[in-house]
Structure 1
Amino acid sequence: MFGFSFDKTMEEVKQELDAGKDIQLIDVRELDEYQEGHIPGADHLALSELEEKAAAVVAAGKPHYLYCRSGQRSRTALKRLKALGYSELYNIGGILHWPYAQKAGNQK
């Protein structure tokens, strides 16, 4: 859609979650978008607040799977987090491609 590929498919991510793999999902959309529906268990870190809140949200010692609505903001977030020194970052695209149940509200 935007001329770039994603690091993992949503199906691969779901399989890793179902297998209990220790990963961190990070939704980089704005809070109102996150509240409307997000992948269960995902942490929220809005792209607009990334530099200010990354240290409080990004967990150490695990892979970080970033997503947004379509994949464009998560791509930008990945680049900005890399510039801050974070590693094990993967852009998994957008929630538009998540064919499984979503969770609404502020709860993970």
Structure 2
Amino acid sequence: MSEKDVDYEALAARLTDAVAPSAEPAQALVGDEAAARGRELLLREYGSESALEDAMRRGRPTVGSAKSGASPVVRGAIPVVEYEALRSLMQSSGLREAQLVRRAIHELLVAEKLVS
């Protein structure tokens, strides 16, 4: 049956009829049994304990690596004219400030032959 063939009037009447028969409710799991069943479902979905633990880890992934922990933070002041140019570049490129700063630092380190 296609969407055009659905009789919405009949469907609404059936779903709102207080005396219409309904399916028996399923057995609700609670407590440890519910937790165990949920974990089984997640393991099937993610495939392994390590993949599941990675998915459940709180926070954003660290920049540039798969290991956990805080990424180093670099801060510095720049002249207003350069900050305005950075804001303009953010607008035109659609990139965030952090993305542009990481790119600029990487390009400097490559130019200085400190990383490849």
TM-score by structure 2 length?
0.23
Select the structure with the greater relative contact order (CA < 8 A; seq sep ≥ 6).
1
Larger % of helix: which? 2
Larger % of strand: which? 1
TM-score by structure 1 length?
0.24
Larger Rg: 2
